[in-house]
């Protein structure tokens, strides 16, 4: 009879151990499944972020190309008007000193003032266009994404160390 009790007790103990092992395996599988889901979500979010960052890069590249085209046209106009302005100024000085008439001086002053206003407007427009050139937004977006990733990594590291 005692041998039967020992066998029953050992059977119960082995069944209990097997149940604990099965529960541990199920819990480990559940944790692995949860980690896999988190990894999949992180992978999806990282893919979306990189896709959106690349689209932002292409958008800013397109914007910069358009700005460069406009800048070239503005430079051509600016240089040609600058040449005309300098030529007009030298001709005007010669004409004014030659004739010394009040009406000619006033008309020449109005002409120079108009050219000056045009040149000043082109300079302002050129400065306005220059602010759109570059990849400031893309660089800021990439820095923001990297900061978020490093903060998440630093937050997850203490959690993992505490679990161990």
User: What is the mean pLDDT of the segment spanning 2-17?
Assistant: 65
Reply yes or no on whether the pLDDT at 156 is more than 60: yes
Judge if pTM exceeds 0.85: no
Cβ contacts of 126 within 8 Å, gap of 6 or more? 71, 74, 75, 78
Reply yes or no on whether the pLDDT at 162 is more than 60: no
Q: How far apart are the first and last CA of the chain?
A: 46
Reply yes or no on whether the pLDDT at 9 is more than 70: no
- 1 pLDDT band, cuts 50/70/90, is very low
- Phi and psi based region of residue 115 (left: phi greater than 0; alpha: psi -120 to 50; beta: remaining): alpha
Domain residues of the chain, as ranges?
1-39, 50-158
- Phi and psi based region of residue 41 (left: phi greater than 0; alpha: psi -120 to 50; beta: remaining): alpha
Q: How deeply is 53 buried, as exposed, middle or buried, from its count of CB atoms within 10 A (0-12, 13-18, 19+)?
A: middle
User: What is the mean pLDDT of the segment spanning 141-152?
Assistant: 81
**pLDDT tens digits for range 118-133:** 788 888 988 888 877 7
**pLDDT tens digits for range 16-66:** 888 888 888 889 888 989 899 998 999 999 899 889 888 888 888 888 888
- Helix 136-163, helix 2-99: angle, nearest 10: 160
């Amino acid at each position: 009879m005692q041998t039967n009790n020992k066998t029953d007790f050992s059977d119960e103990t082995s069944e209990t151990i097997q149940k604990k092992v099965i529960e541990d395996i199920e819990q480990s599988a559940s944790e692995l499944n949860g980690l896999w889901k988190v990894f999949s979500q992180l992978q999806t979010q990282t893919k979306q972020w990189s896709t959106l960052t690349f689209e932002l890069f292409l958008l800013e590249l397109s914007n910069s190309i358009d700005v460069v085209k406009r800048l070239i046209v503005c430079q051509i106009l600016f240089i040609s008007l600058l040449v005309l302005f300098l030529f007009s100024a030298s001709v005007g000085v010669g004409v004014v000193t030659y004739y010394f008439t009040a009406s000619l001086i006033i008309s020449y002053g109005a002409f120079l003032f108009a050219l000056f206003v045009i040149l000043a407007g082109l300079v302002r427009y050129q400065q306005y266009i220059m602010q759109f050139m570059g990849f400031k937004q893309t660089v800021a977006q990439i820095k923001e994404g990297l900061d978020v990733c490093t903060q998440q990594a630093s937050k997850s590291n203490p959690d993992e160390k505490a679990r161990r």
